[in-house]
């Protein structure tokens, strides 16, 4: 192909080869896409979670720079890889020691991020990004925590000849709602729900209800968080109220 005899012709020819190669590299760039789930990833507080993100068609990205960021934070970096090394100094302190990517998976173009010991503050929108290819994708992480409520007898209501029940449930995220139900599953009107947020960002909720003789003997406290689809219930029997 490359004739050395016609030296004066080989320059434009190798230039056109160069241009062709550049164009081809450029069009390859446009071909691979980063694929991330369109539905939010739901994780429980304290668990580990994978934020999926991979190249299609697959390209070995072991030697590529990679960035996982959260645009709403400062600094934005959650996980950064440069020159085959994970950079730790530039990332947000909240993520120190909790993020990793799998080297084996990078060979398959899979830049999914493993996030350990999930915290409520991890909830948000993440971006995976490959600077060299200038492509990125977004992954939404929803964080939830739930635990069963505890019902206790809080007092007697002499006027109404009823008893006051109290429901208490700790360790929720996001903030849940509390409902009281009678034995037939009908909603009871209760006092306002008290909500306290702990230092770990988790919510404790408590609620009181006065139950009267006309009600059945069985009562349920239901704590419910709709956005993470979590429901916990505890039932109590209040005997001997004749
Ligand atoms: C990408 O790697 C993660 C582990 O880091 C794995 O759970 C996931 O299944 C992989 N995804 C694909 C498409 O191979
Ligand atoms: C609710 O339960 C938690 C843990 O069992 C306890 O620390 C807290 O004092 C209780 N709160 C109320 C209002 O009863
Ligand atoms: C959550 O769902 C229940 C029905 O299961 C509904 O009564 C309640 O209003 C919902 N709460 C919110 C905040 O949307």
pLDDT tens profile 52-67: 999 999 999 999 999 9
Question: Would you say the CB of residue 168 lies under 6 angstroms from ligand 2?
Answer: yes
- Gyration radius from the chain CA atoms: 29
At 54 the three-state DSSP class reads strand
Q: Looking at the predicted structure, is the pLDDT value of residue 6 above 80?
A: no
What's the CATH code of the domain at 192? 2.60.40.10
Q: Are residues 133 and 187 in the same domain?
A: no
How many domains is the chain built from?
A: 2
Q: Both 180 and 215 in a single domain?
A: yes
Pocket perturbation via mutation, ligand 2, pick of 170, 191, 196 by most ligand atoms within 8 A of CB: 170
Domain membership of residue 3 (yes or no) is no
173 with 140, same domain: the answer is: no
Cα 60 to middle of ligand 1, angstroms: 14
Could you read off the pLDDT of 99-129 as tens digits, one per residue? Answer: 999 999 999 999 999 999 999 999 999 999 9
Domain membership flag for residue 14: no
> Does residue 116 sit within a domain?
yes
CA of 121 to the centre of ligand 1 (A): 24
Neighbours of 73 (CB within 10 A): 14
49 and 136, same domain (yes or no): yes
Q: pLDDT per residue over 79-99, tens digit each?
A: 999 989 998 888 999 999 999
Q: Say whether both 107 and 182 belong to one domain.
A: no
- Which of 144, 170, 204 marks a domain boundary? 144
Confirm whether 28 is domain-assigned.
Answer: no
Give nearest CA residue, ligand 2 atom 1: 168
Residue 189, domain extent = 150-238
Task: Mark whether 136 and 79 lie in a shared domain.
Answer: yes
Give domain status of residue 156, yes or no. yes
What pLDDT score was predicted for residue 54?
98
Q: Both 136 and 53 in a single domain?
A: yes
Query: For the residues 179-196, what does the mean pLDDT come to?
Result: 94
Residues with CB under 6 A from ligand 1: 50, 52, 54, 102, 105, 110, 112, 114
Domain end: 144, 166, 199, which one? 144
Together in a domain, 127 and 154: no
Q: Alpha-carbon distance 229 to 22, whole Å?
A: 51
Q: In Å, how far are 81, 141, 218, 236 from 214, measured between CA atoms?
A: 66, 46, 12, 16
For residue 56, give the H/E element and its range.
Answer: strand 54-56
Cα–Cα dist 224/239, whole Å: 27
- The verdict on 138 and 176 lying in the same domain is no
Judged by its nearest atom, the ligand closest to the C-alpha of residue 187 is 3
65 with 48, same domain: the answer is yes
Residue 12 lies in a domain: no
22 within some domain: no
Q: 7-16, long-range: CB within 8 Å, 24+ apart, which pairs? A: none
DSSP for 98-143, please give it.
SEE--HHHHTTTB-PEEE-S--GGG-EEEEEEETTTTEEEEEEEEE
pTM of structure = 0.76
Show which of 144, 159, 182 is a domain's final residue. Answer: 144
pLDDT score, position 226: 94
Cα 19 to ligand 3 centre (Å): 61
Q: Residue 7: its pLDDT value, please?
A: 41
**For position 240, what pLDDT does the model report?**
59
Residue 48 domain-assigned (yes or no):
yes
At 216 the pLDDT is 73
User: What's the Cα-to-Cα distance from 16 to each of 11, 13, 21, 23, rounded to whole Å?
Assistant: 9, 5, 8, 10
Ligand 3 atom 11, closest CA: 226
If one residue of 220, 224, 225, 229 were mutated to test the ligand 3 pocket, choosing by the most ligand atoms within 8 A of its CB, it would be: 224
Q: Are residues 215 and 160 in the same domain?
A: yes
Domain identity same for 156 and 133: no
């Amino acid at each position: 192909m490359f004739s050395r005899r016609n030296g004066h012709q080989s320059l434009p020819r190798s230039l056109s080869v160069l241009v062709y190669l550049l164009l081809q590299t450029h069009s390859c760039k446009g071909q691979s896409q980063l694929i991330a789930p369109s539905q939010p990833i739901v994780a429980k507080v304290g668990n580990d979670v994978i934020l999926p993100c991979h190249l299609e068609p697959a390209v070995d990205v072991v030697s590529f720079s990679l960035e996982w960021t959260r645009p709403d934070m400062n600094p934005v970096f959650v996980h950064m890889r440069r020159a085959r090394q994970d950079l730790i100094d530039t990332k947000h302190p909240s993520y120190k020691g909790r993020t990793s990517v799998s080297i084996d998976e990078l060979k398959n173009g899979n830049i999914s991020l493993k996030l350990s010991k999930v915290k409520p503050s991890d909830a948000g929108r993440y971006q995976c990004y490959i600077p060299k290819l200038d492509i990125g994708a977004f992954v939404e992480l929803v964080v939830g925590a739930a635990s069963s409520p505890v019902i206790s007898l809080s007092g007697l209501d002499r006027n109404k000849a009823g008893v006051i029940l109290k429901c208490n449930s700790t360790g929720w995220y996001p903030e849940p709602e509390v409902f009281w139900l009678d034995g037939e599953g009908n909603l009871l009107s209760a006092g306002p729900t008290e909500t306290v947020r702990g230092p770990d960002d988790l919510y404790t909720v408590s609620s009181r209800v006065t139950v009267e003789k006309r009600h059945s003997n069985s009562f349920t406290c239901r704590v419910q968080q709709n956005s993470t689809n979590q429901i916990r219930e505890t039932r109590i029997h209040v005997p001997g109220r004749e």
